[in-house]
Amino acid sequence: MGFILMKAFNISLRMITGFITHLHGRVNRPMRLCVLMTIVCLTLSTERTLAQRSYAYFAWDVNQPLSNTSWAGETSTRGGKAGFRKFVGDSRRISVGLDVNWNYFQSYQPTETFYSNNGAVTTDYFNDIAQLAAALSAQYYFPIGDKQVFYPYVGLGLGANKITYKVSYNIYQDQETGYGFLARPEAGILVRVGERRRFGLTAAVHYDYSTNQSDNYGYNNFMTAGFQVGIVLLQW
């Protein structure tokens, strides 16, 4: 389990590093170095502490778009989220970790005529959005009772969001891919199934805001509200 989580962790860090590279020239050099050093330190510390007072989770993620809903506004049930979190201290009040999520939005559009220099085509079509995001996160827990079973929490994740916008009409496709900064506040609960068992359940609501923009498809940012439920593998 630790090997799999580290693989996911390293892939996600490469994604975040790629986003920082994408911002080259827009963010000053000291800031870029500070972010990269933080990532390096987190990678080294995670390899040593992953299995100590930590947990991994895998969740089904349902999301509702909040930006430019006339282009794609239908609720997506085709999403998932996975990650790990490491507790800081013995009280299990604070954890830090990494979240990776993916979502696919699709909206059917009725028949329309498209004009170009080469002529015109009349067809119905689909507007698609494919999202892949990775965020470093922190949570604060409010344990209920003395049996170490119920752990309500609030949290915040900061990271990178990759979005591909695509229009599929007839046999043709147009698409555009871009990166943005992601901020994700959330509130949820971790429930341990029994006092001594290393298995649990989780549920949470979250709000995602990213700076992804697309002039071609009318996006100044990308926002969603989501709900997730999943399983938890505990290491304590």
| 46 occurs within a structural domain | no
Decide: 166 and 217 in contact? Cβ < 8 Å. Answer: no
Reported as type and span, the H/E element at residue 235 is strand 222-235
| 189 occurs within a structural domain | yes
**Digit-coded pLDDT (tens) for 66-77:** 999 999 999 999
Residue 2: pLDDT over 80: no
| 218 occurs within a structural domain | yes
Task: Give the range of the structural domain holding residue 86, as residue numbers without chain letter.
Answer: 54-235
pLDDT score, position 25:
47
| 12 occurs within a structural domain | no
Q: What is the CATH number of the domain that holds 77?
A: 2.40.160.20
**Digit-coded pLDDT (tens) for 150-204:** 999 999 999 999 999 999 887 778 899 999 999 999 999 999 987 667 899 999 9
Backbone angles phi, psi at 193, to 5 degrees: -85, 90
| 132 occurs within a structural domain | yes
Question: How many domains does the structure of the chain reveal?
Answer: 1
| 196 occurs within a structural domain | yes
User: Helices 29-49 and 2-22 meet at what angle, rounded to 10?
Assistant: 180
| 6 occurs within a structural domain | no
Residue 223: pLDDT over 90: yes
Q: Which residues of 123-162 are buried (b: 16+ CB within 10 A; e: fewer)?
A: eebebbbbbbbbbbbebebebeeeeebebebebebebbbb
First to last CA, the chain: 14
pLDDT score, position 158:
97
Region 213-234 average pLDDT = 95
Reported as type and span, the H/E element at residue 55 is strand 54-65
| 59 occurs within a structural domain | yes
